[in-house]
Amino acid sequence: EELKKLALSMKVAAKCGLGQSVANPFISIVDNFKEEIIY
């Protein structure tokens, strides 16, 4: 959950479109593979 919060913070703080979109794949990975990341 902390990693997802960090990614969302980076997305909000980014000033360009690339910076805002770079967190999307990471957020998707965390959402879909949360159990694998925790262990």
1-39 residue pLDDT tens: 788 898 899 889 999 989 889 889 989 998 999 888 876
Domain extent at residue 14: 2-38
Buried b (16+ CB within 10 A) or exposed e, 1-34: eeebeebeeebeeeeeeeeeeebeebeeeeeeee
Angstrom distances, CA of residue 38 to CA of 6, 19, 28: 16, 26, 15
Question: In the prediction, which pLDDT does 24 show?
Answer: 92
d(CA 4, CA 6): 5
Residue (of 5, 36, 17) closest to 27 by Cα position: 5
- pTM reported for the whole predicted model: 0.65
Domain count across the chain: 1
Question: In the prediction, which pLDDT does 28 show?
Answer: 93
